[in-house]
Amino acid sequence: MQAESLLSEFTLTCMLETSVSRFRHRPALGMAFEKPITYGDFYNSVIGMARILKKQGVSKGDRIAILGENSPNWGIAYFAAVLSGAIVVPILPDFSEADIHHVLTDSEAKILFTTQKQMEKVLGLREHKLQSVITLDDFTAENDWLPVEPFSKFIEKALNFLRQIPDKIGLKSGDIGEDDVASIIYTSGTSGHSKAVMLTHKNFIVNVLAADTLIAVRPDWTFLSVLPLSHTYEFTLGFLFPLLRGARIVYTGKTPTPSVLEKICRQEKPTIIAAVPLIMEKIYKKKVLAAFEKSLIVKVIAKVPGFKMKIYRKIKNKLIDFFGGELQIMAIGGAAINLEAEKFLRKSGFPYLIGYGLTESAPLLAGGPWGDETIPVGSTGKPIPGVEIKIVGADARSGIGEIYARGGNIMKGYYKNPAMTREVIDDQGWLRTGDLGGFDKFGNLSIRGRCKNIILMSNGENIYPEAIEDKINACMHVSESLVMENKGLLEAWVYLDYDLIDEETKGKSEKQKLAYIDELLEKLKVVINPQLAAFSQISRFVEHKEPFEKTATHKIKRYLYTH
């Protein structure tokens, strides 16, 4: 049955109530290696907590912030806040103390859900008018100015309240409309200070329903959640989407290092994972590129017709086993994937799907559909159902211009900033994405980079730095790179794979290791420049000894490194 026909209204509460009526006894959310809670238990906790929030004075339009790592309690807190009529302000766990204070102050949050790990960032905010803090992990903090309540006691109080008034379990929130704001999301973009994006119930639901047309999710599927729920990508595609179809969601509870991920996947056997490209790019370098670079025999065999494909497929099967053996699809988005890594995924037959979007579109704009053989490597696929995309100011030679999008998933605007809203959304509802791209003859969209990142050389040529960085990042010894203009020339800053370098220089002196790095930088110039047009060649490669500061989806914050 089409999901759209199931929903009587496009609100998150309607979606949850519909899912609970269909999947009440099925597993819904759980931590890895733990028994999940059912849809029915999840719903009862949400209803009870919503009633308590309203009893404490939360009214429609109030802001409730959530600052914490992924867990079932995060989801309960979100839906309880929404059902109480409040607007949720999800905060990325890696935000600094100053950023968190800004978000809480600017949003005027009344209540905060948080965790022990984040509590220190909050306790210094004495001037803010928070009424109370509820700790998602039951942590208790002693202070003389802010009430702190453990989540389990809050839930116990909520469920006792429901037992006293059982007829309220089926409570409907009739005063919540599809055009009401559900979330205010403070982004940590690559181009400057964060913006507060207002997303409505309809924005999210339209996006989830569109995703439902790309992948046929079943109730017996398991989603493994590895990205922060406070990011729109994970929230929409890794939380709302599985809930729509009655699937199970598993949270890692730890940083998903390869060893942690392998143990979790072996036990939980995920069917689908929403990931950023960095995960697959690391696997490509460690499992694929290393197999060819380090073995002369493999290099020779790979030149025999058909054998390279056999090696690729063997590696692909090992990867499927690594992810638990049941993986149906890896959804990749949030940033551009390296072209060489994607070529391997395509040639090997690894099940993946590329998506493109941004917070302002809740987030998906283009992707798939799954199984479409006209989608080439390097493309994000077709615009999703219900979304229009056009290219504005296209270059006559390349067809590349700025991407504009329109649809029911486009944000209501920027919170407290109507002037900025008017800058990015015109009077016909078109959103200026700030991204550059173009269509192929099959209607597939390809992304070339950010408008703000174009480097205009003195000879009049436009340089797309992301395209050059993609080639550099494909090199085995490079972890990440940044291409910039400096005094009329292009230079590349590279953060190297120091674990690999340590392995290759084992037993050598520090002076010899430094000489080895200098040789690598010179070799990069020899390898990369022949792949580039004369006007876009790199004058020098510079070692950057620390990882670049990045957003939640691992895009480099370029504005921090401009000259």
* pLDDT by 10s per residue, the chain, length 563: 566 677 889 999 999 999 999 999 999 999 999 999 999 999 999 999 998 898 889 999 999 999 999 999 999 999 999 999 999 999 999 888 888 988 998 999 999 999 999 998 887 776 667 888 999 999 887 766 678 889 998 888 877 877 776 544 444 545 899 999 999 999 865 445 678 999 999 999 999 999 999 999 999 999 999 999 999 999 999 999 999 999 999 999 988 888 899 999 999 999 999 998 988 888 888 878 887 777 777 667 767 777 888 888 888 999 999 999 999 999 999 888 999 999 999 999 999 999 999 999 999 999 999 889 999 999 999 999 999 999 999 988 889 999 999 999 999 999 999 999 999 999 999 999 999 999 999 999 999 999 989 888 877 778 999 999 999 999 999 999 999 999 889 999 999 999 999 999 999 999 999 999 999 999 999 999 999 988 899 999 999 999 999 887 788 988 888 75
Domain 381-440 has CATH 1.20.120.160: no
What length is written for the chain?
563
Q: Which of 102, 29, 14, 10 is nearest to 72 (CA)?
A: 29
Architecture per CATH, 453-561: 2-Layer Sandwich (3.30)
Q: Which helix (H) or strand (E) holds 214?
A: helix 201-214
Architecture per CATH, 3-215+224-242: 3-Layer(aba) Sandwich (3.40)
What was the pLDDT predicted at 169? 41
Domains of the chain, residue spans: 3-215+224-242, 276-363, 381-440, 453-561
Strands (E) located in 164-287: 181-186, 196-200, 222-225, 248-251, 272-275
Q: Which of 414, 362, 65 is nearest to 205 (CA)?
A: 362
What was the pLDDT predicted at 1? 57
C-alpha to C-alpha distance for 85 and 322, rounded to whole angstroms: 43
Amino acid at 224: L
C-alpha to C-alpha distance for 520 and 501, rounded to whole angstroms: 10
What was the pLDDT predicted at 166? 52
